[in-house]
Chain A
């Protein structure tokens, strides 16, 4: 049974763990996450030595390498502050798999402490900041693709749609089979490209069939996959990270 998550009161400061995909490919999403948090009166600490949570190696079975990389992140959060991650899959890695990865090691307690302080961005905005958003954008039909890690590993099927629901001019549309994977799955997309390609084609088609004018996701892996497919196919419907969308419409 999924444990009931007890959320802390809004803190003075948070750590932002930007994730490697955001760092290199979608830095604006990271900045927009930072802006959203600062607007809630929270000081955002960005540990300069952060790199990658270690997930790519972890899901590929290379756990020694994953543990070494994850271990390098554990020291970056010495204060008692929450660690906000604008990604369900990196957040899920840190919250769920860090304790497994370090089980029985001398850093297990530290891994558990870090894991207990990890929050996905939309989760943090809803459950800790109790954010109220004032929409300044034009009317638009938007679909949300919640990543499988956010949905199943972190239990966050609702937080993204709730945030979008606060935007007065946004009509949230739901694509068919919304809970089905987009086919990214990290190295799955290159180890089984044909299956992954069939999955992303179906996902893109479902988003278009829902007559969405735009789509957002809380994970840059899914974004790179679905939006990359749309670019490849020269399709009009495009997506962005939910942090960017929320910030753009409310700043």
Chain B
């Protein structure tokens, strides 16, 4: 059974007797309750607002000198072309990777991908894995799977390291620990690793770096994600800032790269515009500290690098998305996180509220395909359709249109291409819309009805929860616009 049909996190492991706070788990089925908790938590509100404001400003400044619209269109075109040729490009990628000495594996779902990775480790007696950042590995719950097999997987991206230490899940796809401020991180590192409490971020980073360095050296296997897989050259590109990606992919004797099948691009030159868009959209950086291009294992005359490199290509629902010409746009995503940084809902409720691997707008359009519309029933509706995500998206994914499409699927008026389609169809709501439809297509009845509402406005309710929990009830005006214009026509027949 696919693990993704299970709630996001496995049951908490008991924290033996210490004063450690209970580990909180999140589930998309509890979106409303989780949103309530976040909205009433000033620390969470402040951490996200401050961080998102900063990220939005950095992105804006980073693109200040650029013709952003042209660059976004270029990025969108590169991704659209890659998706148009996806089956062919994947085969070319496989051939060219193999020619470079990279062993390629295909996984239909997360469970199969976990098994492939576990078996690679077991065959070499690998017990200690060091991980670079990989959201696909989060998506398939790799760490829990390996742990059951007695393989320890340690996250080496600083944010992921902290989140793992706190037994949490990432709250952002680029900045996994963005929900924590420096004070909270200091407390966590003090509790778990025994370092002195300090609010000096550099000191905390240095401490984590020292702790991790030993683990890199001792690791049997390194696992990373992939930002762009280049079909024509068989090159795996990895974008990062901390050098942990470089160490993960070069120090241990085996490197396993895991990625979704949509990450392939056709040409090496396609990487340039996507990279320019990715770093600026994500963190406002013109370039990251590291850009790794992995094109195979150590060659006979080389002194370092892994002896084996594997690429695991994971489908996990993506080829089903691929079948639908509208939903296909979901697969353009280059995982920059700009949609969440600009989302007024994400900014207020934070990433954990969604209860899904990918939070925010991209999560709302992707996770229903992975978990079904039943488990994610409250996600597509959790948007005012303000369009800030679509405006920020570097590859122009029409996120609001896709949210509307998923709402349509959820109420059973779509094409039925999403698991759980029709799950939100509710007889009472359908009847309400049918009633509205009748009134709005019978203009005389509409005028009579709205006219009566105006005449008896004194009787209109003052309490209309949940609207009036926060706002005054809207009151019909005494006369409708229709009535006013009709009265005016009587006075001045020409109008």
Q: Do A and B bind each other?
A: yes
**B-binding residues in A (CB < 8 A):** 1-2, 18, 20, 22-28, 30-31, 34, 44, 46, 48-52, 54, 56-65, 68-69, 72, 100, 148-149, 151-153, 179-181, 183-201, 224-225, 228-229, 231-232
Residue B39 is within 8 A (CB to CB) of chain A in the complex? yes
Query: In the bound complex, do residue A228 and residue B474 qualify as a contact, i.e. CB atoms below 8 Å apart?
Result: yes
Minimum CB–CB distance from A96 to chain B (whole Å) comes to 9
Residues of B within 8 A of A183 (CB): 344, 384
Once A and B bind, how many residue pairs between them come within 8 Å at the CB atom? 190
16 further contact pairs, Cβ within 8 A, besides A30-B481, A60-B411:
A1-B73, A18-B482, A24-B477, A28-B477, A30-B484, A30-B485, A51-B446, A61-B411, A62-B408, A64-B413, A185-B385, A188-B381, A189-B384, A192-B381, A193-B465, A228-B471
Which residues from 362 to 421 on chain B have a C-beta closer than 8 Å to any C-beta of chain A?
378, 381-388, 390-391, 401, 404, 406-411, 413-414
Query: In the bound complex, do residue A23 and residue B482 qualify as a contact, i.e. CB atoms below 8 Å apart?
Result: yes
| A100 CA to B474 CA, complexed, in Å | 31
Residues of B within 8 A of A194 (CB): 32, 35-36, 39
Residues of B within 8 A of A190 (CB): 466-467
Minimum CB–CB distance from B104 to chain A (whole Å) comes to 37
Q: Which residue of A lies closest to B482 (CB)?
A: A23
Main secondary structure of the interface of A (DSSP, over half): helix
Residues of B within 8 A of A63 (CB): 408, 413
Residue B345 is within 8 A (CB to CB) of chain A in the complex? yes
Chain B interface residue count, Cβ-Cβ cutoff 8 angstroms: 69
Residues of A within 8 A of B345 (CB): 192, 195, 199
Residues of A within 8 A of B386 (CB): 148, 152, 180-181, 185
Q: Which residue of B lies closest to A58 (CB)?
A: B404
| A145 CA to B443 CA, complexed, in Å | 32
Residues of B within 8 A of A58 (CB): 404
Known contacts A1-B70, A60-B433, A188-B381: A24-B466 contact under CB 8 Å: no
Q: Which residue of A lies closest to B439 (CB)?
A: A51
Residues of A within 8 A of B414 (CB): 61
Residue B469 is within 8 A (CB to CB) of chain A in the complex? yes
Query: In the bound complex, do residue A62 and residue B472 qualify as a contact, i.e. CB atoms below 8 Å apart?
Result: no
User: Can you list 11 residue pairs at the A/B interface with Cβ under 8 Å?
Assistant: A18-B482, A22-B481, A23-B482, A30-B485, A50-B443, A65-B437, A194-B39, A198-B348, A229-B470, A229-B472, A232-B471
| A193 CA to B465 CA, complexed, in Å | 9
Residues of A within 8 A of B404 (CB): 58-59, 61
Residue B105 is within 8 A (CB to CB) of chain A in the complex? no
| A195 CA to B479 CA, complexed, in Å | 33
| A9 CA to B69 CA, complexed, in Å | 29
Identify which of A18, A54, A148, A189 contacts B467 (C-beta below 8 A).
A189
* 8 tightest A-B CB contacts, nearest first: A185-B384, A228-B471, A61-B407, A193-B466, A181-B386, A231-B472, A152-B387, A197-B470
Residues of A within 8 A of B406 (CB): 61
Residues of B within 8 A of A189 (CB): 384, 467
Query: In the bound complex, do residue A18 and residue B481 qualify as a contact, i.e. CB atoms below 8 Å apart?
Result: yes
Query: In the bound complex, do residue A196 and residue B481 qualify as a contact, i.e. CB atoms below 8 Å apart?
Result: no
